[in-house]
Structure 1
């Protein structure tokens, strides 16, 4: 059997979602999955077609995915100016679909721990958009930051790695 291939596509304003994306990639590698970590600004139209698993991560902004206005606000709070260019929302809108059954999808977001009980979630928004296009997307996962700018809450990197290792093992069982 050929090695399973995964991509972790992420959007990050202050580095917290990028850190979780790296932890997710490390967990997938522990499960024996070959992984690329791709910032959304560099993600191409071929990501869904070229991988067995695509994990998509984004920070929760205004109870959902970022928009140009929320990314501009993040820049005013100290995020690098390049985050304004393109987010997961725009990347998904521009994608040419793969055959929905040919790729598995997982979604995660980062959000402030104080907002854990609020209904909005970037990952659930991504899952909803992809389900409308025919993809089977399991329930979203959230990882927590102490405040908008971070840092990550205690043990969230380890939790992300464990979550991803489980995803990798599931993927390998499903394909075998």
Structure 2
């Protein structure tokens, strides 16, 4: 009888350890997925940032007296490329950049020669593609964060995260009001 009870206790202990390890590994996998998702956003934002100097230079040739608009874009780009920003700070900087880009794209409407410039039109197309990729990456990242938070807050993840040391919550990458009015790219 004592051997049977000892065997049952051993099986339960092994099952408990297996359960804790499996749950912990799931939390690690979800945390890593949020990090990989953020890296994808970063890649797309860098691509967007690389397009901006070319857009500004193209616009500068046609709308040199629109110096304030061009400088606002350059300043916003500089703020958005700050590596020290967290998720919330990065979202705010990108919102400001989006707002200034909207003004730059509007220059194309005000200056027909700029609007007709093929190089500027190509850059606008690339910017629109980059904006779509950023939106997709943002959606994927936020979905990964939601899955991670759900695992952290629900049973058994909440117990295991406390036992194994809190993994910490992640911030959502939310678009502000400026980003919801994304630059409108229109072609002639």
Q: Does TM-score exceed 0.5, indicating one fold?
A: no
Which has more radius of gyration?
Answer: 2
Higher relative contact order (CA 8 A, sep 6+): 2
TM-score by length of 1: 0.29
* Structure with the largest fraction of helix: 2
* Structure with the largest fraction of strand: 1
TM-score by length of 2: 0.28
